[in-house]
Amino acid sequence: MSAEIICVGTELLLGDIVNTNAQYLAQQLARLGIPHYYQTVVGDNRERLKQAIALAGDRAELLIFTGGLGPTPDDLTTETIAEFFNVPLVERLEILQDITEKFAKRRRQMTENNRKQALLPQGAQVLPNPSGTAPGLIWQPREGITLLTFPGVPSEMKRMWQETAVPYLIERGWGQQIIHSRVLKFWGIGESALASKISEFFDRTNPTVAPYAQTGTVRLRVSAKAASEEIAAGLIDPVAQQLQEIAGPDYFGADEETLTSVVGELLRDRGETVGVAESCTGGGLGAMLVDVPGSSDYFLGGIIAYHNEVKASVLGVSREILLQQGAVSEPTAKQMALGVKKQLGTDWSLSITGIAGPGGGSEHKPVGLVYIGLAAPDDTVDIFEYRFGAERDRATIRYISACHALDRLRRKLIS
Amino acid sequence: MSAEIICVGTELLLGDIVNTNAQYLAQQLARLGIPHYYQTVVGDNRERLKQAIALAGDRAELLIFTGGLGPTPDDLTTETIAEFFNVPLVERLEILQDITEKFAKRRRQMTENNRKQALLPQGAQVLPNPSGTAPGLIWQPREGITLLTFPGVPSEMKRMWQETAVPYLIERGWGQQIIHSRVLKFWGIGESALASKISEFFDRTNPTVAPYAQTGTVRLRVSAKAASEEIAAGLIDPVAQQLQEIAGPDYFGADEETLTSVVGELLRDRGETVGVAESCTGGGLGAMLVDVPGSSDYFLGGIIAYHNEVKASVLGVSREILLQQGAVSEPTAKQMALGVKKQLGTDWSLSITGIAGPGGGSEHKPVGLVYIGLAAPDDTVDIFEYRFGAERDRATIRYISACHALDRLRRKLIS
């Protein structure tokens, strides 16, 4: 028994949006232990959608659709599914009422095209959408095949999945064999260097170990199959332990843990606080720190000193240094870190100043040159110089700068 | 003649990463006017990858693969393609040399598993990878079918696409009919409200008009087919103009324009500056503002006042107000905006204070309650209250708060 994900929408084929829905559903299926081997993206086109249904229906027993449930004429999923299985659409009064109420509550005018969203194939069950107007369906058009449809709006889809689809699937015995995974995360080591260090682990079968890289963070997925999550976790534990020992401080966390959450935990345990002084990242490091609920326990705030005048007047960076050594320099990073620490009264502080590009680089100070300052409770400051290379784009340089800053604090806190 | 995108990687099926590569390639194909009707995601599995190749090879003439070119044993794309077309792999000396040099340059040790990346099917052309070690291939295994392979790392894939694949495709006459699109963007109006206002446009054929929504921003894609981009743009112009007029100030920009870039242009034109005071967004508004290259012309910086003590000591918010009315209140937002404006000496300032959740809400001040302050050059402050609802997640509340702040400044600047 396996599932397939079919994402419907010409906007996906045109690249207007990134398919986060497929990722979410994939994670959810993995968590439930429901195997899925293919994902298909198809446009708002009746014939091609039918072909996709035919193919997926041959390969899998559970077909999960996202997109194409909206009120506009190019939203074709429901009617195409009905057509494919040769079943008429009927208007559902309960859906119509729900839509009418939602519009009234939001004090918006319900439009005639919203009526279309009340049509479902005869025999299908409503998959309620508590946060939007487009409901989905749960339908077994014939023995051995179950269809679920969701709107394309990620927040609506997720809620519908959690509140209705998951209980439905579990009740019907989907996902009896558990695949349980743990993702180990590493910072400061490349994928192939890590892969060489741990190459003998790749031949294992239960758990399996597989690497994958994203910008900056290298990940190893350790996956076990077992009758229960507990048994699977027992298979994973010793292998994960060995991998962590081999990697040393380059290992920083697992699963939902991020550099930010790990640094946060370390600070919380010590009862210490941090502040940030940001130039090229413009607030991105602070925004990362507040990603974690409860970050107010240790993150007090910061100064975004994008303009040099702010570096001088608010952070107290010497105007002479700014003039002679420049805003992107070791002494500026040092004074920024000390400046914000003093202003905010934190135990620790991080500063970032660099050239994110695409302009502003020179021979001596190329795009990608970034200084990170880390001030400790005793006011000693460590400065780290990075040269990320002008071939990286502005967003990447800013993102990895913020990550490296967090990583430097992490290494200091565990040393 | 059409293309298909095949993304290879068990990490996609497990939901470990989001498929940004498919989006990028989709955009690029649309830009070149190369139609593509399906995208397939398949795991690191020889047999299923072969099935995907067989299917896509039946439907399309150009097959674009991403992923599975790395050095580890689960990277199977190249060898599976060779196997499918029954052609042997041969070691390419030029690739081996390139990999060796790259490792030397980065002062890293080349590992034995990297040798695998030098194998390509006999007769295939190397698709060079200037930034990574995994090259791709360009291959016509038989008449009427062309394969391109790219590594899964987005930055490497993009550069290879631009530098080698695009010139190759254009030279071979792919994309002679141009599909040119313009995306119109709206903030402050829902998708179905906008759709009702402009419903008569949906019946048009050249250009077509199609809506789609993402978090907050509503978009209309206006697409025309023509012999050249210029002719297509001529078909789009009058329709886009009409749509903008109907939408009024809810329309904010087109294509690459964002709320941030539009606000930036407005400020730059007036020679004015802005600063930010952020609580719940933690620097996210500042980070959005520096997304735009050249933002230093108008963005001076800001204060991240996450902790109340920072609101009082750095921004000068009255401790009495913080105590009596709370950090999430109209007067706090007002004093934050005025405080940062004074500290940084900007013409305008924006402040955000709110409850991003999941904790911290109460009956009177629920999760999702956000105040935005906008201080004008004459020190008058407009305050806007939003109730985004506790059903939205922390990241969404922070993101739309920052967008609404930018939108408020935008509306003020154009009024």
pLDDT digits (tens, 9 = 90+) for B346-379: 999 999 999 998 888 898 999 999 999 999 999 9
pLDDT at B70: 86
User: In this complex, do A344 and B314 lie within 8 Å of one another by their Cβ atoms?
Assistant: yes
* A197-206, B58-67, B144-153: least confidently modelled range: A197-206
User: In this complex, do A286 and B289 lie within 8 Å of one another by their Cβ atoms?
Assistant: no
Tokens for A179? 């695949």
pLDDT at A108: 72
Confirm if A121 and A141 have CB atoms less than 8 A apart: yes
Percent of chain B with pLDDT over 90: 74
Nearest C-alpha of chain B: how many angstroms from A345?
9
Domain A3-171 -> CATH class: alpha beta
Nearest C-alpha of chain A: how many angstroms from B243?
17
Tell me the chain B residues in contact with residue A102 when contact means C-beta distances shorter than 8 Å.
none
* For testing contact with chain A, the best of B212, B255, B296, B299 (most A CBs within 10 A): B212
Q: What is the pLDDT of residues B321-337, one digit of tens each?
A: 999 999 999 999 999 99
Question: What is the C-alpha to C-alpha distance for residues B395 and B179, in angstroms, rounded to an integer?
Answer: 35
User: In this complex, do B300 and A307 lie within 8 Å of one another by their Cβ atoms?
Assistant: yes
Q: CB atoms < 10 A from the CB of A237, how many?
A: 14
- Between B341 and B215, name the one with better pLDDT: B341
Among candidates B30, B199, B345 on the partner chain, residue whose Cβ is nearest the Cβ of A14: B30
Question: What is the C-alpha to C-alpha distance for residues A6 and A1, in angstroms, rounded to an integer?
Answer: 17
Question: What is the C-alpha to C-alpha distance for residues B222 and B241, in angstroms, rounded to an integer?
Answer: 11
Q: What is the pLDDT of residues B97-136, one digit of tens each?
A: 988 888 887 777 777 788 888 999 999 999 999 888 889 9
User: In this complex, do B283 and A280 lie within 8 Å of one another by their Cβ atoms?
Assistant: no
Confirm if A52 and A6 have CB atoms less than 8 A apart: yes
User: In this complex, do A19 and B23 lie within 8 Å of one another by their Cβ atoms?
Assistant: yes
pLDDT at A214: 67
User: In this complex, do B25 and A15 lie within 8 Å of one another by their Cβ atoms?
Assistant: yes
Among candidates B15, B293, B302 on the partner chain, residue whose Cβ is nearest the Cβ of A23: B15
Confirm if A367 and A360 have CB atoms less than 8 A apart: yes
Question: What is the C-alpha to C-alpha distance for residues B24 and B160, in angstroms, rounded to an integer?
Answer: 12
A178-254 and A259-414: same fold? no
Tell me the chain B residues in contact with residue A71 when contact means C-beta distances shorter than 8 Å.
192, 195
Q: Is A267 left (phi over 0), alpha (psi -120 to 50) or beta?
A: alpha
Q: Is B390 helix (H, G, I), strand (E, B) or coil?
A: coil
Nearest to A156 by CA among A46, A70, A29: A70
Tokens for A242? 């060995």
Tell me the chain A residues in contact with residue B25 when contact means C-beta distances shorter than 8 Å.
15
Phi, psi values for residue A37, rounded to 5°: -115, -15
Cα dihedral B36/B37/B42/B45 (nearest 10): -70
Residues 292-311 of B with CB under 8 A from A: 293-296, 299-307, 309-310
Question: Beta partners for A41?
Answer: A7, B39
pLDDT at A225: 83
Among candidates B12, B24, B307 on the partner chain, residue whose Cβ is nearest the Cβ of A15: B24
Is the CB of residue A200 less than 8 Å away from at least one CB of chain B? Answer: no
Nearest C-alpha of chain B: how many angstroms from A121?
23
Question: What is the C-alpha to C-alpha distance for residues A85 and A143, in angstroms, rounded to an integer?
Answer: 12
Is the CB of residue B343 less than 8 Å away from at least one CB of chain A? Answer: yes
Is the CB of residue B231 less than 8 Å away from at least one CB of chain A? Answer: no
Nearest C-alpha of chain B: how many angstroms from A212?
7
Tell me the chain A residues in contact with residue B192 when contact means C-beta distances shorter than 8 Å.
70-72, 111, 113-114, 133
* For testing contact with chain A, the best of B31, B222, B307 (most A CBs within 10 A): B307
Is the CB of residue B215 less than 8 Å away from at least one CB of chain A? Answer: yes
Is the CB of residue B177 less than 8 Å away from at least one CB of chain A? Answer: no
Tokens for A11? 């906007």
Confirm if B152 and B69 have CB atoms less than 8 A apart: yes
pLDDT at B104: 80
Q: CB atoms < 10 A from the CB of A292, how many?
A: 21
Q: Is A210 helix (H, G, I), strand (E, B) or coil?
A: strand
Is the CB of residue B122 less than 8 Å away from at least one CB of chain A? Answer: no
Determine the residue of chain A that is closest to B341 in CA distance.
A310
CATH 3.40.50.620 given to domain A259-414: no
Determine the residue of chain B that is closest to A56 in CA distance.
B40
Question: What is the C-alpha to C-alpha distance for residues B63 and B142, in angstroms, rounded to an integer?
Answer: 13
- Cis before B35? omega within 30: no
User: In this complex, do A18 and B18 lie within 8 Å of one another by their Cβ atoms?
Assistant: yes
Residues 78-107 of A with CB under 8 A from B: none
Question: Beta partners for B126?
Answer: B137
Residues 137-176 of A with CB under 8 A from B: 152-155, 159
Is the CB of residue A18 less than 8 Å away from at least one CB of chain B? Answer: yes
Domain A178-254 -> CATH class: alpha beta
| In the predicted structure, residue B138 carries a pLDDT above the cut 90 | yes
Q: Where are the domains of chain A?
A: 3-171, 178-254, 259-414
Nearest to A329 by CA among A355, A302, A360: A355
Question: Beta partners for B274?
Answer: B299, B348
Nearest C-alpha of chain A: how many angstroms from B35?
9
DSSP B8: E
Is the CB of residue B19 less than 8 Å away from at least one CB of chain A? Answer: yes
Q: Is B260 helix (H, G, I), strand (E, B) or coil?
A: helix
pLDDT at B109: 76
pLDDT in tens, chain A (415 residues): 899 999 999 999 999 899 999 999 999 998 888 999 999 999 999 999 999 999 999 999 999 999 999 888 889 999 999 999 999 999 998 899 988 888 887 777 787 788 888 999 999 999 999 888 889 999 999 999 999 999 999 999 999 998 999 889 988 888 666 678 899 999 988 888 898 999 999 989 899 998 876 667 899 999 998 877 888 999 999 999 999 999 999 999 999 999 999 999 999 999 999 999 999 999 999 999 999 999 999 999 999 999 999 999 999 999 999 999 999 999 999 999 999 999 999 999 999 999 998 888 898 999 999 999 999 999 999 999 999 887 788 998 999 999 999 999 999 999 9
Is the CB of residue B38 less than 8 Å away from at least one CB of chain A? Answer: yes
Confirm if A275 and A349 have CB atoms less than 8 A apart: yes
Question: What is the C-alpha to C-alpha distance for residues A400 and B26, in angstroms, rounded to an integer?
Answer: 26
Tell me the chain B residues in contact with residue A74 when contact means C-beta distances shorter than 8 Å.
202, 210
Percent of chain B with pLDDT over 70: 98
Q: Is B131 exposed, middle or buried (0-12, 13-18, 19+ CB in 10 A)?
A: middle
Nearest C-alpha of chain A: how many angstroms from B268?
15
User: In this complex, do B286 and A285 lie within 8 Å of one another by their Cβ atoms?
Assistant: no
Residues 264-293 of A with CB under 8 A from B: 276, 278, 280-287, 289-291, 293
Determine the residue of chain A that is closest to B67 in CA distance.
A212
Cβ neighbours of residue A6 closer than 8 Å, sequence gap 6 or more: A39, A40, A41, A42, A49, A52, A53, A56, A63, A64, A65, A66
Tell me the pairing of strands B369-375 and B381-387. Answer: antiparallel
Determine the residue of chain A that is closest to B7 in CA distance.
A39
User: In this complex, do B108 and A193 lie within 8 Å of one another by their Cβ atoms?
Assistant: yes
Is the CB of residue B342 less than 8 Å away from at least one CB of chain A? Answer: no
Determine the residue of chain B that is closest to A68 in CA distance.
B212
Determine the residue of chain B that is closest to A256 in CA distance.
B16
Q: What is the pLDDT of residues A374-390, one digit of tens each?
A: 999 999 999 999 998 87
pLDDT at B408: 97
Tokens for A5? 């994900």
Extract long-range pairs of A73-78: CB within 8 Å, 24+ residues apart. Answer: A73/A113, A73/B202, A74/A10, A74/A44, A74/B202, A74/B210, A75/A44, A75/A116, A76/A8, A76/A44, A76/A45, A76/A46, A76/A49, A77/A8, A77/A49, A77/A149, A78/A119, A78/A120, A78/A121, A78/A137, A78/A149
Q: What is the pLDDT of residues A151-169, one digit of tens each?
A: 999 999 999 998 999 889 9
Is the CB of residue B36 less than 8 Å away from at least one CB of chain A? Answer: yes
Tell me the chain B residues in contact with residue A14 when contact means C-beta distances shorter than 8 Å.
26-27, 30, 181, 221, 223
pLDDT at A215: 67
- Between B71 and B79, name the one with better pLDDT: B79
pLDDT at A295: 95
| In the predicted structure, residue B252 carries a pLDDT above the cut 80 | yes
Is the CB of residue A67 less than 8 Å away from at least one CB of chain B? Answer: no
Confirm if A192 and B133 have CB atoms less than 8 A apart: yes
* Amino acid at position B104, single letter: A
Nearest C-alpha of chain B: how many angstroms from A23?
4
Determine the residue of chain B that is closest to A17 in CA distance.
B23
Question: What is the C-alpha to C-alpha distance for residues A296 and B279, in angstroms, rounded to an integer?
Answer: 10
Cβ neighbours of residue A142 closer than 8 Å, sequence gap 6 or more: A85
Confirm if B336 and B315 have CB atoms less than 8 A apart: yes
Helix axes A46-59, A77-84, angle to 10 degrees: 60
Among candidates B23, B111, B306 on the partner chain, residue whose Cβ is nearest the Cβ of A296: B306
Residue B176 pLDDT class (50, 70, 90 cuts): low
Tokens for A31? 């968590």
User: In this complex, do B293 and A73 lie within 8 Å of one another by their Cβ atoms?
Assistant: no
